[in-house]
Chain A
Amino acid sequence: MIALNRSSAVTWAVGYVLLGLAALAAFAVPLWYAWSVTIFDGRAAILEDDAQRLTEVFHHGGVQGLTAYINARVGMQIAGERTLLLTDERYRHLAGNLAAWPREITGASGANAIMVDLAGQPTHTQLVQTTLPGGYHLLVGRDLSRFLPLERRFTYGLISAVTFLFLVGVTGAILIRRELLARVTGIRQTVAAIMQGDLRHRLPIRRTNDELDTLSQTINGMLDHIEHLIGGISNVSNSIAHDLRTPLAELRSRLEELTLTRPAPAQTFAEVDAAVADVDRVIRIFNALLRLAEIDTGARRSGFVRVDASQVAAEVVEFYEPAAEQKGVAFSFASEGVAAVAGDPVLLAQALSNLIDNSLKCVAEHGAISVHVGHRADGAVEIAVADDGPGITEADRPRATERFFRGDTSRGTPGVGLGLAIVDAVAKLHGGALQLLDNHPGLRAQMVLPVTATRTSR
């Protein structure tokens, strides 16, 4: 409870209780005022009317008449309803149910509310006094005690309303605070666990779709992405450790052998050239990895423009035509006209170039490669490269896009095993996917780019 005064829930609850009290006061104060002033004044007017009537009786019948009238009324009425007193000029009792003139009432006339002794009972009474001709004094009153229960009930009602408000406020504050604290603590613990390095943790989701839930879902989405990126990085680190060692080991042994054997200059320079080629290979792997990392971060998405995939494909096909021709491969290209996507033209060109490159390496002489750009039934743009080469076995297909993975059929061909990984990354960057299918025989690799991506086009 140290954090009580700092808890936002408690602050809110206190605020709402104060607001409730203010509303209650705004309701009760005018009511109380109306009750005590308006009704008191109204009753005073009634009592004055009564006194007026008695004065008329006095004018008609004199002191005897009024005394008889008062005695008759006192004898008839329900006890305590009317308080009447008629005295002479020295305030001596002549008639009425009040034993003596109350000391509190002096002066000429007016309304008072005082305690009087009525038949031995102290009673709260509202009194109006009148002076009659001849010095006689008349007191007309009304017992107020019958309003006491009403006033009491009003007061009790007010008190219980305040108490109720207070209790609800406090309970609400405690409950909200406990609830909020529990969830915030849950989030804090999860985040702490993640900061410790275990990225698999996720914030609890209640499926209530309230604000905290939405926030948690967003944060979880962010964590998914971070985990994916971190996974990519560690994947790459492992791959680097594993796959860069091989060419580096070759390079090292080549150079060490040179220093040991010290061959003739011609052979030495041939070896140095080979060493430079080894280094170039390592650099190529590095460049491909850096390119992959660059694509994976999604940073290139900011440079997306409206691209006609058909045109990009036509240019890449034209670029590869002489190479295919040289190998005697039948190379065909078909497109269904403009296929607009939002994307990076250079990356799309590179991805398609990688696919054609792969096919060119795999197909036999006089094989066939066809490139096709078109729309799918759902409107997505499809860029497909199909060949009649050895293809990728069913078992290898899921792993084919992994970094540095090389299937049995590609062993012995040049390459570092990053081509399809780059194509996959490019397809994902564009919100699409790379699909590897059986071409019976051969491989059909197709990039499917959704049209929804064109929403971001400029």
Chain B
Amino acid sequence: MKILVVEDNARVARFVTQGLREAGHTVDHADNGRDGMFSAASEPYDVIVMDRMLPGNIDGLGIIEALRKAGNRTPILILSALAAVDERIRGLRAGGDDYLTKPFAFGELLARVDALGRRSLGQDAERALQVADLRMDLLTRKVTRGSRVIALQPREFKLLEYLMRHANQVVTRTMLLEGVWDYNFDPQTNVVDVHISKLRQKIEHDTERPLVRTVRNAGYMMCEHDRA
């Protein structure tokens, strides 16, 4: 993917651009609002990572609003130290697609950038999801693996749907909390892990190939192929 990173802090910018390049993306970097605005408006990107507080007369939210007004629909991940719920809401209202607060783990950033990039490919009107031999019918809400029918609780269904929609991408525990349960707080115990392990027991019987991989220091990934 082609990604634009607008971030004035040199160390954070280097950390992010290097990490994204290692993950196989093409990365451009702007270290002030003016350049960021210019690049974002003149070149097509798959995802923009935008800091909020920027030098150069225009801040992150200003750029996002200007881009949206001009009809630019590029997915934007807002990266900010402003963590309050209200700030988050302001960021998303301005036209941001996701909001990540500093400090952050790179795994979290990468997972969210991937998720946004996938969204821009456009896959909304689906009726079924398929990962390897696991199939989910979104209309009848029936889940099958091969010929085996899997019975799931509504929340398990939602969790599996989220994992399948983000197949071959890392999803973090925070993303799962927000996406599946709509909670934006951090439970102390490993509740998400337990949910995942329960789901694994249902979709991965002894003889079947494991589908959900644990990614160290990041989260989980549902894999299409054995060694992705």
Contacts and interface: CB of A to CB of B under 8 A. Distances in A.
Given A294-B85, A318-B155, A319-B181, A353 B103 contact: no
Interface string A401-420: 00000000000001100010
A287 B101 CA distance: 10
B129 interface: no
Tell me the interface secondary structure of chain A in the complex.
helix
A410 to B, nearest CB: 12
B96 to A, nearest CB: 19
B38 interface: no
A356 to B, nearest CB: 9
A315 B188 contact: no
Contacts of B84: 290, 294
Nearest to B184: A346
Contacts of A276: 105, 217
A318 B194 CA distance: 12
A296 interface: no
Interface residues of B, number: 23
A322 B153 CA distance: 12
B189 A361 contact: yes
Interface string B42-63: 0000000000000000000000
Interface in A333-386: 346, 349-350, 353-354, 357, 360-361
B188 A357 contact: yes
B149 interface: no
B183 A419 contact: no
B202 to A, nearest CB: 12
B186 A357 contact: no
Contacts of A350: 183, 185
Interface in A254-287: 273, 276, 279-280, 283-284, 287
A300 B187 contact: no
A113 to B, nearest CB: 89
Contacts of A326: 194, 197
Contacts of B183: 319, 346, 349-350, 353
Contacts of A283: 103
A315 B181 contact: yes
Contacts of B138: none
B212 to A, nearest CB: 15
A353 B195 contact: no
Nearest to B185: A350
B220 to A, nearest CB: 15
Contacts of A291: 185
Contact of A320 (B85, B182, B184, B191): B191
B83 interface: yes
Contacts of B155: 318-319
Interface in B98-152: 103, 105
Contacts of A273: 217
A346 B183 CA distance: 6
A383 B85 CA distance: 24
Interface string A289-326: 01100100001100000000000000100111011011
B101 to A, nearest CB: 8
Contact of A414 (B182, B184, B186, B188): B188
B86 A299 contact: yes
Interface of A: 273, 276, 279-280, 283-284, 287, 290-291, 294, 299-300, 315, 318-320, 322-323, 325-326, 346, 349-350, 353-354, 357, 360-361, 414-415, 419
Can you list the 8 inter-chain pairs with the closest CB atoms, starting with the nearest? A322-B194, A350-B185, A323-B194, A323-B191, A322-B198, A357-B188, A326-B194, A322-B195
15 contacts: A287-B83, A299-B86, A318-B155, A319-B191, A320-B191, A323-B189, A323-B191, A323-B194, A346-B183, A350-B185, A353-B183, A354-B188, A357-B188, A361-B189, A415-B188
Interface of B: 83-86, 103, 105, 155, 181-191, 194-195, 197-198, 217
